[in-house]
Amino acid sequence: MTNDNLDDSINRRTYMKGVGATSAIVGAGGLSAMSTPAQAQPSTADTTVAEFCGLFSPGPQIQQCLACVEDECDEEEASPLFPLFTGLSGQCFTPSEIPDGAEYVGLKAGQNCYVAEVDDNTKFCLPPGAPEVSNATFYRCGGEETPALVGFEVTCEELTVETENIDDGETLTATVTFIDQEGTESEETFEATVDDDEATFELPGDLNPTRYEITFDGTVLDEQDIVAEDAPCFDEPPEPPEPDDPRIDELDVTCEEITIETDDIGEGEMLMVTVSFVGDIVTTYNVTVDDDGVGTIALPGDLDPSSIEIVFEDETLFEGNIQASDSPCAEVPPEPPEPPEPPKPDNKKELKKRMKEHEAKYEEYKKKYEKHD
């Protein structure tokens, strides 16, 4: 698992049916077995500041900010390079190595994407007011295609991934983290064979998958928090976590809010709570304890919370994985509609007219579906 060590951090789940852009091509920048540690640092005069370029696209990391770099590459393919950098924080990103041939870096921060030219730069910062950077991917324009993971879909029973440039019969490895009904975490490793650009891993079915790492030939193709589209994967809602620190009595998590019941923390005291969501989105909340000793956090409602850290007076009272009792929180997109059948024509003129009507109706259906992507 790729956990980069970062300093000077500032204040880290959408429905994860990872829809990959089928045109994404990964270039030959050299495949690395592990992601390389990076450091987050404050901006300085010699820092390259990345520009905001749009919102991220849910799915594998190489796809999330790909559109930004495609705009920079004009008619050439934007080719992601390895290693991928994950688990970042802070306003700046300083990798210890930059893949050979890298021309651009895409930085994901919250739900935003930022892009910067590499040139001879070695540190990349976000503009003032931007969220924390959470992952970074280097790209070049054009180049030889290399193995890539461009989409995934998760259910309780299966994890299916979509690949590019991996031959049929090759083996992928998935390391999946699960949480059971009591909140106990476990990890299992699975293998699956690629067939027609897809590989399917058989999961236990009675455990909630919460994170995966997909590797091919020692290279990490993708790593992120996930949620099964048919969660929870057990009969009853998940049990709330049981913090060891006696100052946290109870922790209740739903899609809409987190309720923290405290003991021996006075009214008006402040908790700093960092919540991570599926999709590599991190938000920090300052939570005031009321006269009943309760602190409440209003959540977006359409993002699945995956982990939490509760800090009081610079001391961590609880840190661990969480899951909403009513998950999944994000709206599951509908299946694409079937296009209407064209009517049988009476003659060629009528055929042309009705086929145009048919195409118009199909475009209407298509637009309705694309709104959910």
Instruction: Give per-residue pLDDT as tens, 193-243.
Output: 999 999 999 999 999 999 999 999 999 999 999 999 998 898 877 777 888
Residue tagged 């910067």 (tokens):
116
Q: What is the mean pLDDT of residues 327-334?
A: 70
State the DSSP H helix or E strand holding residue 272, giving kind and residue range, or none if neither: strand 270-277
- Token readout for 17 is 């049916």
CA distances to 13, 62, 110, 130, 304 from 332, rounded to whole Å, are 13, 22, 21, 28, 12
Provide CATH code, domain 248-321: 2.60.40.10
Compute the distance between CA of residue 120 and CA of residue 136 in angstroms, rounded to an integer: 17
Helix (H, G, I), strand (E, B) or coil at 299: coil
Domain boundaries, the chain: 26-146, 151-225, 248-321, 335-373
Residue type, 103: E
| Per-residue pLDDT reduced to its tens digit, 36-57 | 334 444 445 457 999 999 999 9
Compute the chain's Rg from CA coordinates. Answer: 23
Per cent of the chain over pLDDT 90 is 59
Higher-pLDDT residue of 120 and 107 is: 107
CA distances to 66, 97, 175, 323 from 163, rounded to whole Å, are 16, 26, 17, 29
Over the chain, what is the mean pLDDT? 82
What is the per-residue pLDDT for 40?
A: 44
Asked whether the domain spanning 248-321 has the same topology as the one spanning 151-225, the reply is: yes
What is the per-residue pLDDT for 337?
A: 47
pTM equals 0.70
Ranked by mean pLDDT, which of 178-192, 229-243, 350-364 comes out on top?
178-192
Provide CATH code, domain 151-225: 2.60.40
User: Is the pLDDT confidence value at 19 over 60?
Assistant: no
Q: What is the mean pLDDT of residues 309-327?
A: 92
What is the per-residue pLDDT for 206?
A: 94
